[in-house]
Amino acid sequence: MTNEREPGGAEAVRVAFQGELGAYSDEAVRQYFGGAAEPVACRDFDGVGVRTMAGEVDYGLLPIENSLAGSVVASYDVLAATGLHVVGEIISPIHHCVLAIPGAPADAVARVLSHPVALAQCRRWLAAHPRVEAVSWYDTAGAAKEVAARGDPSTAAIAGRLAAERYGLAILDQHVEDRPDNQTRFLVIARPDSPLPRPAADTSAGMKTSLLAETANVPGALLGLLQPFAARGVNLTKLESRPAGQPWSYRFFLELEGAADASPVRGALADARAHATSLRVLGSYPRWPA
């Protein structure tokens, strides 16, 4: 993919994301693509991959990790199960609010709905409100939508301000995340023949590359895969293992600094292939500025 697609133009850029309109992923779509984006809501992560691969949308957006809760493993599985490429990343600040129907008193809340990853980012608030039951929901904005539909003052949601605005909810508490620097990193995905997106923000901080690899289940196999990058001074920024096709076998998702076709990354990849049963370059893309 060498051509770039402008964020503006006559046609809106359709971008699939997991969740309802008003979700943090919806916000990230708009942040990355600017006013050119038409966010397309999907019920689950697999739906993002399917719709992107089928050409129903131009791009997809997957949350890959959160600075508090860690990796979003379902997103890794979508990358492994499809032929989609990684063509961009975005790091977005996440600030959670407790949302309820207008007029609901804070002391009436008995349960709070939200995505499990969001709940994991708000452990301190939940611990400070032990009588409030935390209920897992498929999406933060979906939780807000459900609270608005129920009209029950005892049910609240943990979601963002955009969700509060979209579903007409009141903010009972804000910044309930465990740390004020809470952030989620998202990957932009596309079909192999898609033009590269041009993000609305400046991404001149260098390049990154994502890989997917499998090794034989023998001593030293993972060391052999990783050693060429250290030997050539290539910095690995991420290593994640996920179950592969056979029981107790694993595939590895790696991220590194630099483009795949640039030296010394090119040489490290050539050496690493000798220690892998499979190695796929998922894509090289601009690094999001810190």
- H/E/C letters for each residue in the chain? CCCEECCCCCCCEEEEEECCCCCHHHHHHHHHHHHHEEEEEECCHHHHHHHHHCCCCCEEEEEEEECCCEECHHHHHHHHHCCCEEEEEEEEECCCEEEECCCCCHHHCCEEEECHHHHHCCHHHHHHCCCCEEEECCCHHHHHHHHHHHCCCCEEEEECHHHHHHHCCEEEEECCCCCCCCEEEEEEEECCCCCEECCCCCCCCCEEEEEEEECCCCCCHHHHHHHHHHHCCCCEEEEEEEECCCCCCEEEEEEEECCCCCCCHHHHHHHHHCCCCEEEEEEEEECCCC
Q: Which is the catalytic residue, given 45, 186, 252, 253?
A: 186
Q: Which is the catalytic residue, given 52, 140, 184, 215?
A: 184
Mark whether 277 is an active-site residue. Answer: no
Q: Is the pLDDT of residue 247 over 90?
A: no
Write out pLDDT tens, residues 43-93: 999 999 999 999 999 999 999 999 999 999 999 999 999 999 999 999 999
Q: Is the pLDDT of residue 216 over 80?
A: yes
Domains annotated on the chain, with CATH: 11-93+182-196 (3.40.190.10), 97-174 (3.40.190.10), 207-286 (3.30.70.260)
Q: Is the pLDDT of residue 202 over 80?
A: no
Q: What is the pLDDT of residue 8?
A: 42
* Total-model pTM: 0.90
Q: What is the pLDDT of residue 5?
A: 54
Instruction: Indicate the pLDDT class of residue 7, thresholds 50, 70 and 90.
Output: very low
The mean pLDDT value of the chain amounts to 92
Q: Is the pLDDT of residue 290 over 80?
A: no
Mark whether 33 is an active-site residue. Answer: no
Write out pLDDT tens, residues 135-174: 999 999 999 999 999 999 999 999 999 999 999 999 999 9
